[in-house]
Chains A and B, each alone.
Chain A
Amino acid sequence: MQRIGVFVCHCGSNIAATVDVKKVVELVRYEQGVVYADDYMYMCSEAGQQKVMEAIKEHNLTGLVICSCSPRMHEATFRACAAKAGLNPFMVEIANIREHCSWIHKDMEEATKKAVILARAAIAKVNLNTPLQEGESPVVKRALVIGGGIAGIQTALDIANAGYPVDIVEKEPSIGGRMSQLDKTFPTLDCSSCILTPKMVEVAQHPNIKIYSYSEVEKVGGFVGNFEVDIRKKARSVNEDKCTGCGVCQTKCPLGKTGKIPSEFNRGLGTRSAIYTPFAQAVPNVPVIDRENCTYFKTGKCGVCAKLCPSGCIDYEQQDQIVTEKYGAIVVATGFDIINLDKYDEYAYNTCPDVITSLELERLMNAAGPTGGHLLRMSDGKAPKDIVFIQCVGSRCADDRGKPYCSKVCCMYTAKHAMLIKDHWPEMNVTVFYIDVRTPGKNFDEFYRRAVEQYHVNYIKGQVGKVMPQADGSLIVQGSDLLDGKQIKMKADMVVLAAAVEPNKDARKIASMLTASIDNNDFLTEAHAKLRPVESPTAGIFLSGMSQGPKDIPETVSQAGAAAVKVIGLLAKDKLKTNPCTAKCDMFQCNGCSTCANVCPYGAISYEDTLVRGPGVNETRRIAKVNTALCQGCGACTSACPSGAMDLQGFSNLQIISEVDAICR
């Protein structure tokens, strides 16, 4: 028979405003097993926990029910509290009377009734709880970072500098990510490459960092501390160890001169050869053969690169390679892209080459870009006179064409673009159509005001309805000025769209491999929006950069550091406590049918010939055996087992049924 203590939390007024806490205490006091019931203003406070610990000792409690906020919030707190008082931490159950009751209900009587029922269900469950012991599992002291942009680079460097080996997997031929495509950065106007490339080089030369470029994560198995990851090293067709990065192959590739292959790095504005590095400062500085376009791969003829390569490192026969590595922790830093603008016909993006995205403008203004840093129209190669920027293209969008969120960086980069243009080419007229200008960041508003006050950029509050290409090559921008209440028609030579950011296309695939939560916009979900912002709810998975939500470079770098610290904290441990809520087989019921092993996602179940001795039996049978180090406690086997032999500790059949009964009482 259990001796249960029930503690009902007021949570200030969070619970007490809608739930009559005192009444709950009185109504649960006579439930089966309850020997003590009390309430307190803040159960999670030190004084509240003290109260719990004292009650455990004074009343010899064997089980606890805390009626408070979600177990996802404070289950760990109260388990630790129980353990301090000498009670097995798994004898604690939480009745969620805040998120699932007081916060969503208005009627005090009904909410109180519901709180009592939830408490009763938890009490019924605790009556059947048994003490569980946590196991231990070793930690592989190596981290994996998926994505080699600034987020991944910074995370990897921070982990590596703490002394742990890190692997970076980057699907492009070079690390660097989006930041390497940028020209300048706000609000300081630093040159993006100048601050990024030293970090790329540091990564390449760091003894603790290994870069898998042109590689993708293929499969992830295992769990926190013990992930096993298959990495596909895509065939580069170039021997990475022998290549010196001299670049002869790229300059001599016959396809380079035809200008037929658009350069992905230049967002399709420039061209590249079939054997290429995305940009001059690529790390590693080893080219890749684009097999889809290469003449040798298409026709079997050519082979110029192989003939001219001084170190003989071209290898047309190279195959994809799968590397399997073990990691203790994984950081997702898969970054972002900008949305496809096919649904935005009104801006004529697909039909007019002089309507470009801001990321394309970055390439046009970059000295290493397709125009050598001269801002020229893509249609006729002439310098534009009137440039119009359109904000929030797909951001803060109410319909399903765009994204509901604010992309966060556009207001600032547009101010940057406007200033840079006015700085280089004072004769150009720059107009910005905006909905709101959002500048919440250090030195951000000052920066925006400089664009308006010092550079006289024409900011118009209003949306653009249509961009109309004209026969003479110019564009007419039709919009509204909300402050003047007027319709505006304006001539432009170039239109720049601040297209919304969205998570990398692979984010969902990767999240699914990692069993990490992801939201409807494909941003990875944090374990707690405020208190655990760089951790995924899945243990051992950490989040860095835009994969978690829109953010600028300084925020990305700080978040990368935060993720690194969490990884280091994990890798610094020699052993991790494992979840004791694992499956357990009742040998008297089991008939060794293999159903459970077939549904187990972790291969945790095997079969052993076991001597079964009990009332009426004394024979050796094939019995399922659960490897508790592998079992993650999903319970798939328990519902699949035809004979009811499998049960899940902590969520046993009887426990759940007792909850059902308590609710339906």
Chain B
Amino acid sequence: MPMNENNEFKPLIVAFCCNWCSYAGADLAGSSRLTYPENVKIIRVPCSGRVNPMFILRAFERGADGVIICGCHPGDCHYSTGNYYARRRMALLFSMLEYMGIENGRTRVEWCSAAEGAKFSKTMNEFCEKIASLGENVRLGDLRCKN
């Protein structure tokens, strides 16, 4: 279990951000110097609709403690409808993950526009806190890959 020098649990969080809204929102959080923990690692995807459930399962399998999917606000998708598909798909996936023992708090879908740097940072801070409170993901974690 990864700990920092104060023996606090440092969760590993994977964030999938769509290129048009949330990735740009994360950029704005950066240029506005709005901090969030280092444990959030962002993967750029063209659209939240591109996020295949397989990617999320893979992340949990490889030891991620939380996965967040960020897209454009409903109605604002650069590709018109991608985030609607993502919303439905994730609702299904999350309920399945819960069934498998991965608590609902470990997964989240958030809408964040290119202008919402502050929201991006706030969301990531909240999510990190939540995951830290849930502790390490052991259910799907492939222990060979985690040290």
Contact = CB atoms under 8 A, between A and B. Distances in A.
Interface of A: 70-73, 96, 98-101, 103-107, 110-111, 113-114, 117-118, 121, 508, 511-512, 515, 517-520, 525, 537-538, 581, 599, 601, 632-636, 638-640, 648, 651, 653, 656-657, 659-661, 663-665
A664 B67 CA distance: 11
Contacts of A648: 46, 50
A515 B52 contact: no
A659 B43 contact: yes
A99 B36 CA distance: 12
B54 A601 contact: no
B51 interface: yes
A640 B52 CA distance: 8
A657 B56 CA distance: 9
26 contacts: A72-B19, A72-B24, A72-B27, A96-B27, A100-B26, A100-B30, A103-B30, A103-B33, A104-B30, A104-B34, A515-B76, A517-B24, A517-B78, A599-B49, A633-B46, A634-B78, A635-B82, A636-B79, A636-B85, A648-B46, A651-B46, A657-B54, A659-B43, A661-B58, A663-B64, A664-B145
Contacts of B145: 664-665
A581 B29 CA distance: 27
Nearest to B31: A99
Contacts of A633: 46
Given A114-B38, A636-B79, 12 more contacts: A72-B23, A99-B31, A100-B27, A601-B82, A634-B78, A635-B47, A636-B85, A638-B52, A639-B85, A651-B46, A660-B64, A664-B64
B115 A520 contact: yes
A364 B82 CA distance: 49
A511 B85 contact: no
B128 interface: no
B6 interface: no
Contacts, number: 164
Contacts of B12: 663-664
A263 to B, nearest CB: 34
Contacts of A104: 29-30, 33-36, 121
Interface string B71-103: 010011111111001000100000000000000
B50 A639 contact: yes
Nearest to B30: A99
Interface of B: 12, 14, 19-21, 23-24, 26-27, 29-31, 33-36, 38, 41-47, 49-55, 58-59, 62-64, 72, 75-82, 85, 89, 113-116, 121, 145-146
A356 to B, nearest CB: 33
Nearest to B115: A519
Nearest to B39: A114
Contacts of B51: 639
A100 B38 contact: no
Given A106-B35, A110-B38, A519 B113 contact: yes
Contacts of B81: 599, 601, 636
B21 A105 contact: no
A79 B81 CA distance: 29
Nearest to A633: B46
Contact of B20 (A520, A537, A657, A661): A537
A663 B45 contact: no
A511 B76 contact: yes
A619 B108 CA distance: 44
Contact of B46 (A525, A634, A663): A634
Given A114-B41, A518-B76, A519-B113, A639 B46 contact: no
B54 A653 contact: yes
Contacts of B49: 599, 634-636, 639
B34 A581 contact: no
A520 B50 contact: no
Nearest to B41: A663
Q: Which of A71, A105, A107, A664 has the most CB of B within 10 A?
A: A664
B53 A639 contact: yes
Contacts of B31: 99, 103
Contacts of B50: 634-636, 638-639, 648, 651
A665 B27 CA distance: 24
B113 A518 contact: yes
Contacts of B64: 660, 663-664
B55 A656 contact: yes
Contacts of B80: 515, 601
Contacts of A71: 44
A99 B55 contact: no
Contacts of A518: 76, 113
B76 A512 contact: yes
B73 to A, nearest CB: 9
Contacts of B47: 634-636
Contacts of B113: 517-520, 525
B75 A512 contact: yes
Contacts of B62: 660-661, 664-665
Contact of A99 (B27, B46, B52, B77): B27
A515 B145 CA distance: 41
Contacts of A117: 41
Given A519-B113, A537-B20, A537-B114, A640 B41 contact: no
B82 A653 contact: no
A147 to B, nearest CB: 20
A659 B44 CA distance: 10
Contact of A107 (B38, B44, B89): B38
Given A104-B36, A635-B49, A660 B30 contact: no
A71 B53 CA distance: 25
B90 to A, nearest CB: 10
Nearest to A665: B145
Given A113-B38, A520-B113, A537-B20, A599 B85 contact: yes
B58 A520 contact: no
A644 to B, nearest CB: 8
A638 B51 CA distance: 9
A601 B79 contact: yes
Contact of B45 (A72, A98, A111, A635): A635
Nearest to A632: B79
Contact of A664 (B14, B77, B116): B14
Contacts of B45: 635, 651, 656
A537 B64 CA distance: 32
B38 A517 contact: no
B88 to A, nearest CB: 11
A659 B59 CA distance: 10
Given A72-B24, A525-B114, A656-B55, A105 B43 contact: no
A515 B75 CA distance: 9
Given A104-B29, A660-B59, A118 B41 contact: yes
Nearest to A639: B52
Nearest to A107: B38
A634 B82 contact: yes
B144 to A, nearest CB: 11
A520 B118 CA distance: 12
Nearest to A658: B58
Nearest to B142: A664
A654 to B, nearest CB: 11
Contacts of B53: 639
A146 to B, nearest CB: 17
